[in-house]
């Protein structure tokens, strides 16, 4: 296991001014998004949409890596037929792969989920590495309700995340560890803080217990937000402050960077929150704070494209505008005036 190589990849993924494009929607999820623009989800239409994003001129200025779904990793550029891992690498963008098999009902629990995919993971990682993948992603899902999350749910998901991460590093792949606390519900930001803190403590205990090297991984967490149905939702300053306090208590400084998920936030909110956190940190910040957004990067492009070839250029412009704003947010240089 070449730890120096893994460390270099991890640091490149969260370098200042860049972030990760999450283009790893399953066939079902991307189908739902294409339905929104009245476009049939086929192998060809899914490839055309991903190609639109990946071939945007100058994408490498703002995007350090791309997380792909299994189908996408096996697809190719429409311009010259180059497989996407090679195509992205030629632009200086790291190819990544989603390896979990989705969230399923957790046995002996009411309304909680456990992520599947450990069976056969070692073999799949070996194949993905040969195909050019340099990093991987595994997502765990935690709900906040009156009764949840349970300690059982948190511990089982944390154990699975750690097992996945250890297998990745054994196969020369940097793991993105994604414990996502969903912000659906009417809970306040204090509830979000408490649950996020407990989950992260448990995750890092499991990572340590299973020998995962912190220097060769990336954390992809939620921000500490009020529930989307909360009556009094926390503002940008409160979200940034609570998130940084929570992470200062839980995330080892050996971790090179944190690539936040957007988690259903609006495009503007996801960018503003990331920007404020980077403004609050001084030059001696413990980690690089970046982004790993899916919908919050892609939605303007999707709405502009509408499945029509004549709209590709305009859709790429919309995508690049969003990518640039998030790039600025990683340096604390974004302002709302730039949205116009």
Distance of alpha carbon 79 from alpha carbon 96, whole angstroms: 21
DSSP-derived secondary structure letter, 243: H
Taking the CA atoms of 85, 86, 87 and 92 in sequence, report the sign of the dihedral they define.
Answer: positive
Q: Are 324 and 339 in contact (CB under 8 A)?
A: no
Annotation says 220 is catalytic: yes
Structure-block tokens of residue 274? 């990331």
Query: CB count, 10 Å around CB of 53?
Result: 22
The closest alpha carbon to 113, from 208, 165, 182, 167, belongs to: 182
The set of residues, in sequence order, having a beta carbon less than 8 Å from that of 112 and lying 6+ positions away, is 105, 106, 142, 143, 148, 149, 150, 152, 153
Distance of alpha carbon 258 from alpha carbon 81, whole angstroms: 34
Q: Tell me how far apart the terminal alpha carbons of the chain are, to the nearest angstrom.
A: 47
Q: Which residue is catalytic, options 18, 98, 137, 220? A: 220
C-alpha of 301 from chain center = 18
Annotation says 178 is catalytic: yes
Q: Which residue is catalytic, options 178, 268, 276, 285? A: 178
Catalytic residue numbers, as ranges: 178, 220
């Amino acid at each position: 296991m070449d730890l120096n190589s893994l460390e270099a990849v991890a640091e490149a993924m969260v370098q200042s001014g860049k972030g990760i494009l999450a283009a790893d929607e399953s066939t079902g999820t991307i189908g739902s998004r294409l339905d929104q623009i009245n476009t049939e989800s086929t192998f060809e239409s899914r490839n055309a949409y991903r190609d639109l994003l990946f071939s945007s001129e100058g994408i490498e200025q703002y995007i350090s890596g791309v997380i792909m779904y299994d189908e996408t990793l096996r697809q190719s550029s429409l311009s010259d037929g180059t497989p996407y891992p090679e195509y992205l690498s030629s632009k200086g963008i790291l190819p990544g792969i989603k390896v979990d098999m989705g969230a399923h009902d957790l046995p002996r629990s009411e309304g909680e989920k456990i992520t599947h995919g450990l069976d056969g993971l070692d073999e799949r990682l070996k194949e993905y590495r040969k195909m050019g993948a340099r990093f991987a992603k595994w997502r765990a899902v935690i709900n906040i309700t009156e009764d949840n999350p349970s300690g059982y749910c948190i511990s089982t998901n944390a154990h699975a995340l750690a097992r996945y991460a250890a297998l990745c590093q054994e196969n020369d792949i940097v793991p993105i560890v994604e414990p996502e606390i969903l912000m659906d519900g009417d809970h306040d930001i204090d509830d979000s803080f408490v649950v996020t803190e407990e989950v992260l403590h448990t995750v890092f205990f499991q990572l340590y217990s299973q020998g995962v090297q912190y220097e060769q991984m990336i954390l992809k967490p939620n921000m500490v937000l009020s529930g989307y149905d909360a009556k009094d939702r926390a503002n940008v300053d409160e979200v940034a402050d609570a998130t940084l306090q929570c992470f200062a208590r839980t995330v080892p400084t050996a971790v090179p960077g944190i690539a936040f998920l957007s988690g259903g936030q609006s495009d503007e909110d996801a960018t503003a929150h990331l920007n404020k956190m980077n403004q609050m940190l001084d030059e001696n910040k413990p980690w690089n704070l970046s982004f790993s957004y899916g919908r919050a990067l892609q939605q303007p492009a999707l709405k502009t494209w509408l499945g029509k070839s004549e709209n590709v250029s305009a859709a790429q412009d919309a995508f690049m505008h969003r990518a640039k704003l998030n790039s600025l947010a990683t340096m604390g240089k974004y302002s709302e005036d730039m949205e116009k």
